[in-house]
Chains A and B, each alone.
Chain A
Amino acid sequence: MLGLQAKDFRLLLIVVAMTMLAPFILNPFPVNSAMAQFNAGYPDLMQRFVIFGIFAIGFNILFGLTGYLSFGHAAFLGVGSYAGVWMLKLLTMNVVPAILLSVIVAGLFSVIVGYVSLRRSGIYFSILTLAFAQMSFALAYSVLTPLTNGETGLQLSLDDPRVLGVTQVDGTIPAPHLFGASMRASYDLVLGGWQFTFNVGYYLSAVVLVLAFYLAIRIFRSPFGLMLRAVKSNQQRMSYTGLNLKPYMLAAFVISGMYAGLAGGLMVAMDPLAGAERMQWTASGEVVLMTILGGAGTLIGPVLGAGFIKYFENIFSKINDTVLHQWFGFMPDGLEDVVVFIVHPFIGKGWHLTLGLLFMLVVIFLPGGLVQGGQKIGGLFRRKAPADDSATRKQPAE
């Protein structure tokens, strides 16, 4: 189907189902229950899940296939964001031109960075990409402030010219839209104690994610993808087989940079502000972690990794002691305090600690990332139901 093998098509269907039903999947708890804190089905976080998913998918095309570890990929996302915001400021609040320009600008920037950085391999390549990204960040924060609005981040203002749109509507800035459908528009569906939110911006991002994921599958299964895996495996044999590494690597780098730009463009389409921190090395490191955590070189892994990290950042950081006391309120007072005291360091301001511990646990116990964890669980079920013939997979899950 769609030019995919059955296995890949099944994976695509899973992703489609996951993204389209996300408002249900991510809101498993009734609004007023104590566990509602763990609901993630609100527009902003759902958007973030898929946007960072796209970013990680793109990064994985470079890192997962070729093994070249770029430590400056956030620069492309940042550059794309700036381009997108400028488009929203100058042209129209329709998000299509903004997203397109984000992709193009990020692509061009990655041609430059890639052309230079790909002259080296291994850690030397990583440091070159890191250097470019850090320079972009430092300059965007300071010298390039007229272009980037520095510390605050580039944002819309009430006097943007907007050639193909309106500058302001009664003293407010118009919202980004897709041919009239506002990115912020949402439906709420209330089912008993549950509430599910369907947001236009999220569904736009989700459709883009599905397309990006489909494209990634095609790339993975294409001769081009095969060549990229060959680069990772043996560069010497590759050139003595008459293949020119450089254009292959550059193409992979640029495709992956354009994915980052796409993510950046979507980000500003959802929320029209581009901050310089988006390009800092920590942001580049984050996508590396997402990819490794999910499972580098696998198709679905990076998306899972992105969801994992964003979930902790947004959900765990918001749990405070008041919430804890609510949760454990049923316990006797003394015990309640003890439990709160024990849990306290890991939530709220301690969310970093939890994340760090989980990084270590995952990499120690699941060397193949979250995907391997999924396979292990899947394996348990298969043992019970041996009818499923796909259990014998030799390659790492793809």
Chain B
Amino acid sequence: MDAILLQILNGLDKGSAYALIALGLTLIFGTLGVVNFAHGAIFMIGAFCAVTLSRLLSLSHPSAEPTGTDFLGNPKFDDVLYVNEWFGETAGAFIIDWSVPLAILFAIPIMVAVGFIMERGLIKHFYKRPHADQILVTFGLAIVLQEVIKYFYGANPIPTPAPEVFRGSFDFGVLLGFEANAIIYPYWRMVYFAFALVLITAVFGFLQFTTFGMVVRAGMADRETVGLLGINIDKRFTIMFAIAACVAGLAGVMYTPINSPNYHMGMDFLVLSFVVVVVGGMGSLPGAVLAGFLLGILESFASMPVMTSLIPGINQIIIYLVAIVVLLTRPRGLMGRRGVMEE
């Protein structure tokens, strides 16, 4: 029982990441009809916003006097952080400690800009082109983006810790009457889950309750008709693309303390997020979220030793197995609509 609860918890934060990426992906699929292979790269760029901010905050100049010798025996100078000089040691340390949450503010304008530039500069010209061309151009873009990041940040993962107060884990088991250590859960993962819920709610609320959102939803259902109404749907779709980029980017920012970001993390998530979107059903936002959490939880279950001893290798293939079963029993995924991307 406690093992199952534990894996549900673990599935939730994995699912949060899947759901957030898939949400952005399906927004782009649904509204623009574009197969965006660069979406994983956007997630990665978000993560590197956090890295960049923490680097910026740690900018320093060498101390005036040498403080020792370096590994070659030359005099070594300590790094004096500008933040410490400007705000004092305590405040400086605090700012650096909180660089990941601060990066959310830093990332929003960057991600919006990235989304805007991508859509206006490139994707826009591919709406009417075949999906094959879209795949090629966005795949090329994804490679370029990640190579640029690799050029500046290297291939090695870069540790970006969560603020001190969120390190360590919480013992849920004790709360629920199990023995100690039965169900532990890191604080930051709770934060991530809560953050994901807030973000998902915000996107849904935005689409549900604003006129902008209504038009976009109508556009997702029937682009031509909305176009005929004389509404400038293209401009709205640009904004939608920027929002999708923002969602993926913020998912990336908050993900950095969970796993140190590296330049190919986007590709690692790309295929999975496509599977999530399709299992959820093309063009369905709730489907994407549902499938994200479902696959996250199932993946956690499959990793239980009981399962792997029962079916060796099940943890390797569970996601794909589920995808096959879902698509064979429900032709358009869990909540997909007829006719979207079926040709």
B313 interface residue per 8 A CB criterion: yes
List 7 A-B pairs, Cβ < 8 Å. A69-B131, A120-B331, A142-B316, A345-B151, A356-B139, A356-B147, A359-B137
B230 interface residue per 8 A CB criterion: no
**Which of B70-78, B82-90, B100-108, B270-278 sits within the interface?**
B270-278
A67 interface residue per 8 A CB criterion: yes
A285 to B270 CA separation, bound complex (whole angstroms): 12
Asked whether, in the complex, the Cβ of B135 is within 8 Å of the Cβ of A122, the reply is: no
**Which of B191-199, B206-214, B321-329 sits within the interface?**
B321-329
Chain A residues in 8 Å Cβ range of B323:
127-128, 131
Chain A residues in 8 Å Cβ range of B312:
143
A364 to B147 CA separation, bound complex (whole angstroms): 20
Residue in B133, B144, B320 whose CB lies within 8 Å of A367: B133
Residue in B125, B142, B317, B321 whose CB lies within 8 Å of A356: B142
B148 interface residue per 8 A CB criterion: yes
A18 interface residue per 8 A CB criterion: no
B332 interface residue per 8 A CB criterion: yes
A288 to B134 CA separation, bound complex (whole angstroms): 12
A292 to B140 CA separation, bound complex (whole angstroms): 12
Asked whether, in the complex, the Cβ of B278 is within 8 Å of the Cβ of A138, the reply is: no
B65 interface residue per 8 A CB criterion: no
Chain B residues in 8 Å Cβ range of A121:
342-343
Binary flags per residue of A339-376, CB closer than 8 Å to B gives 1, else 0: 00000010000101101111110111001000000000
Q: Which residues of B contact A (CB under 8 A)?
A: 35, 122, 125, 129, 131-133, 135-137, 139-144, 146-148, 151, 267, 271, 274-275, 278-279, 282, 312-313, 316-317, 320-321, 323-324, 327-328, 331-333, 341-343
Asked whether, in the complex, the Cβ of A353 is within 8 Å of the Cβ of B136, the reply is: no
Q: Apart from A128-B327, A138-B313, A363-B136, what are 15 other A-B pairs with CB-CB below 8 Å?
A: A119-B328, A120-B327, A127-B275, A132-B324, A135-B321, A139-B313, A139-B317, A350-B151, A353-B143, A356-B139, A357-B144, A358-B140, A359-B139, A359-B140, A363-B140
| Given A121-B343, A134-B320, also A360-B141 (CB < 8 A) | yes
A143 to B314 CA separation, bound complex (whole angstroms): 10
| Given A121-B343, A122-B342, also A288-B327 (CB < 8 A) | no
Chain B residues in 8 Å Cβ range of A358:
140
A296 interface residue per 8 A CB criterion: yes
Residue in B141, B147, B324 whose CB lies within 8 Å of A116: B324
A164 to B29 CA separation, bound complex (whole angstroms): 55
Chain B residues in 8 Å Cβ range of A135:
316-317, 320-321
| Given A124-B278, A124-B327, A353-B147, also A288-B135 (CB < 8 A) | yes
Shortest CB–CB separation between residue A302 and chain B, in angstroms? 12
| Given A69-B132, A288-B135, A289-B136, also A356-B320 (CB < 8 A) | no
Q: Give the interface SS of chain B, mostly helix, strand, loop or mixed.
A: helix
Asked whether, in the complex, the Cβ of A124 is within 8 Å of the Cβ of B313, the reply is: no
A85 interface residue per 8 A CB criterion: no
Chain A residues in 8 Å Cβ range of B313:
138-139, 142-143
User: Which of chain A's residues has its CB closest to B267's CB?
Assistant: A282
The total of Cβ contacts below 8 Å across the A-B interface reads 122
Chain B residues in 8 Å Cβ range of A293:
136
Q: Which residues of A contact B (CB under 8 A)?
A: 63, 67, 69, 116, 119-124, 127-128, 130-132, 134-135, 138-139, 141-143, 281-282, 285, 288-289, 292-293, 296, 345, 350, 352-353, 355-360, 362-364, 367
Asked whether, in the complex, the Cβ of A359 is within 8 Å of the Cβ of B136, the reply is: yes
Shortest CB–CB separation between residue A294 and chain B, in angstroms? 11
Residue in A138, A355, A359 whose CB lies within 8 Å of B316: A138
Asked whether, in the complex, the Cβ of A356 is within 8 Å of the Cβ of B144, the reply is: yes
Chain A residues in 8 Å Cβ range of B317:
134-135, 138-139
A350 to B144 CA separation, bound complex (whole angstroms): 10
Chain A residues in 8 Å Cβ range of B271:
130, 134, 281
Shortest CB–CB separation between residue A362 and chain B, in angstroms? 8
Chain B residues in 8 Å Cβ range of A142:
313, 316
Chain B residues in 8 Å Cβ range of A350:
147, 151
Shortest CB–CB separation between residue A360 and chain B, in angstroms? 4
Chain A residues in 8 Å Cβ range of B142:
356
A63 to B136 CA separation, bound complex (whole angstroms): 14
A393 to B57 CA separation, bound complex (whole angstroms): 61
Shortest CB–CB separation between residue A120 and chain B, in angstroms? 6
A359 to B132 CA separation, bound complex (whole angstroms): 12
Chain B residues in 8 Å Cβ range of A296:
132
Chain A residues in 8 Å Cβ range of B140:
355-360, 363
Asked whether, in the complex, the Cβ of A124 is within 8 Å of the Cβ of B332, the reply is: yes
A111 to B177 CA separation, bound complex (whole angstroms): 53
Shortest CB–CB separation between residue A396 and chain B, in angstroms? 12
Asked whether, in the complex, the Cβ of B148 is within 8 Å of the Cβ of A367, the reply is: no
Asked whether, in the complex, the Cβ of B282 is within 8 Å of the Cβ of A130, the reply is: no
Shortest CB–CB separation between residue A316 and chain B, in angstroms? 12
Chain A residues in 8 Å Cβ range of B316:
135, 138-139, 141-143
User: Which of chain B's residues has its CB closest to A357's CB?
Assistant: B144
Q: Which 7 A-B pairs have the closest CB atoms?
A: A359-B140, A356-B143, A143-B313, A131-B320, A122-B342, A353-B147, A138-B316
Chain A residues in 8 Å Cβ range of B136:
289, 292-293, 359, 362-363
Asked whether, in the complex, the Cβ of B133 is within 8 Å of the Cβ of A127, the reply is: no
